[in-house]
Structure 1
Amino acid sequence: MSYFNDVILGVIEGITEFLPISSTGHLLLAQHWLGARSDTYNIVIQAGAILAVTLIYWRRLVDLATGWRDPANRNYLAKLATAFLLTAVLGVVVKKAGFELPETVTPIAWALVIGGLWMLLAENLAARLPDSAAITWRVAVAVGIAQVVAGVFPGTSRSAATIFAAMLLGTSNRAAATEFAFLVGIPTMYAASAYQLIGQVGSGVAEDWTGLAIAFAVSTVTAFVSVKWLLGYIRTNRFTVFAIYRIVFGILLLGMGMAGIVS
């Protein structure tokens, strides 16, 4: 039964990591029922979702790496690097300052609700802008800052914060904003996962490596499918359904927290 639980957790992580609905809240609730997992476990299954997105964008990544002589590619790479470095520097500052909300039900639930309402507003504002797939420097800076904000406020959703930061500041085309947000997320999340994993080395916590491997594999496959679906969905649809889902799920978590079902 325990390995079946690992499959469930891998599915949840794979579905929620890159959809703009926050993986943190879903894993918090799932692990309440299925049993808490170590930080190492949560980091590794997150890496599975990152691997899936890397595989989806591998042609784009290879094109950017091998075509750096092209001015457009160099410009795009420079903006990716700027967003990543801004996240890294500000992330270290925030970490050293200890400014981070706990991953408990109440702040996560409020972040889900507030984030959902903000997504509805942002979607309407972005719809009034002329369609543009261009990534400007202010978009790159905003995406870098948005990643830090999402890290400080669990439940915000890194993908939601970065996609809508890009859309509101000029990249109104959903597909272009999502691609940039996801490409920035690849090195950012690899670096964050590696940093956290190194911190866990020698912690002395016993780990079920078989269960972790199962969850990692399931997370990778599930994330690949869910992100592929999302990229097709947003070509002709808004993010409204995700915003509504966040609000409903956040209210549900608040109610469960008040009832003492989760903490």
Structure 2
Amino acid sequence: MPIATAAPTGPVNDLLAALLLGLIEGLTEFLPISSTGHLLIAQHWLGERSDLFNIVIQAGAILAITLVFRQRLWALATGLRDAANRDYLMKIAVAFGVTAVVGLPVRLMGWELPDTVSPIAWALILGGVWMLFAERIAERRGDSAHITWVVAVLVGLAQVVAGVFPGTSRSAAAIFMAMMAGTGKRSAATEFVFLVGIPTMFAASGYALLEHFLESGTGGEAWGEMGLAFAAATVTGFVAVRWLLGYIKQHRYTPFAIYRIVLGVALLLWLPAGV
């Protein structure tokens, strides 16, 4: 689970730490830099949090993207008579289904997040290098906005890989998988991945809540702190997504890849061995 460390405690400090974690989650969930990786790194200094806390505040960011895409979602939901809408919704369902079918057994086998920063640092570096390579390959394949069935399946698998290796970034893994598989247009690949993320992360949060209630009831969690972090993630996530959707219309993802590599190297160089 998150990296355990000594951190200031007390009601005010705990609330401030929860607020900061919510802000970090909202800012990083949909940028291709790994929200889980940033949360685990931040918790090295801000104090350990439960898997439930991490997953539920991710739901705050998903709520934000639901609000951003509310018109698109409404158009899809009310346009089922249109063959293109039905096709797109089915591909979202397939991507989500692949994630669930492959990812659930991994969860049931007892997989847990790492308790050290080093694996996250390596995932940041390798993911950044892969992003640079993948974007070059995708550019050679044209600027198609079409989502194929192959893209839908690979996006689902990419989400599982990102969940198993914190620091990979769900959005980065899925977006660049889509681009390499034929959806070369960044905005089209990004929109599809974001829409697939809505049922994926809401389902993950719901499953984590169910697990928690069955095992611990309503005790064992600081619900006020979680609520504050959820709200912060929602607000900052909304702002981050709106900004990113405008940014990628004219720019590449290269700066995010460089940021990942620099952060990963810095973590490996500056953190004590074994952390």
Q: TM-score, normalised by structure 2?
A: 0.90
Q: Deviations over 1:62-82 (max 9, x none)?
A: 111110110000110111111
Aligned residue number for residue 206 of structure 1: 220
Q: Distance in 2 between matches of 1:197 and 1:99?
A: 17
Aligned residue number for residue 147 of structure 1: 159
Residue of 176, 181, 190 corresponding to 2:202? 190
Q: Distance in 2 between matches of 1:28 and 1:250?
A: 13
Return the offset for 1:99: 6.0
Aligned residue number for residue 18 of structure 2: 6
Q: In percent, how many aligned pairs have the same letter?
A: 64
Whether the 8 Å contact between 2:99 and 2:159 is mirrored in structure 1 is yes
Residue of 119, 124, 133 corresponding to 2:145? 133
Structure 2 CA distance for partners of 1:28 and 1:99, relative to 1, 3 Å: closer
Residue of 32, 37, 56 corresponding to 1:25? 37
Return the offset for 1:103: 5.0
Return the offset for 1:98: 5.0
Report how many aligned residue pairs link the two structures: 261
Residue 175 (structure 2) pairs with residue 163 (structure 1): yes
Q: Distance in 2 between matches of 1:103 and 1:27?
A: 12
Residue 103 (structure 2) pairs with residue 91 (structure 1): yes
Aligned residue number for residue 226 of structure 1: 240
Q: Distance in 2 between matches of 1:132 and 1:78?
A: 19
Return the offset for 1:6: 2.0
Q: SS of the residue aligned with 2:250?
A: coil
Return the offset for 1:197: 1.7
Q: TM-score, normalised by structure 1?
A: 0.94
In structure 1, runs of 5+ residues without a counterpart are none
What CA RMSD, in Å, does the superposition of the two structures yield over aligned residues?
Answer: 1.6
Aligned residue number for residue 254 of structure 1: 268
In structure 2, runs of 5+ residues without a counterpart are 1-11
Q: Deviations over 1:160-217 (max 9, x none)?
A: 0000011001100000000000001100111011111211124265322222221111
Q: Distance in 2 between matches of 1:8 and 1:100?
A: 23
Whether the 8 Å contact between 1:39 and 1:200 is mirrored in structure 2 is no
Aligned residue number for residue 5 of structure 2: none
Q: Distance in 1 between matches of 2:220 and 2:109?
A: 30
Aligned residue number for residue 254 of structure 2: 240
Q: Distance in 2 between matches of 1:150 and 1:212?
A: 24
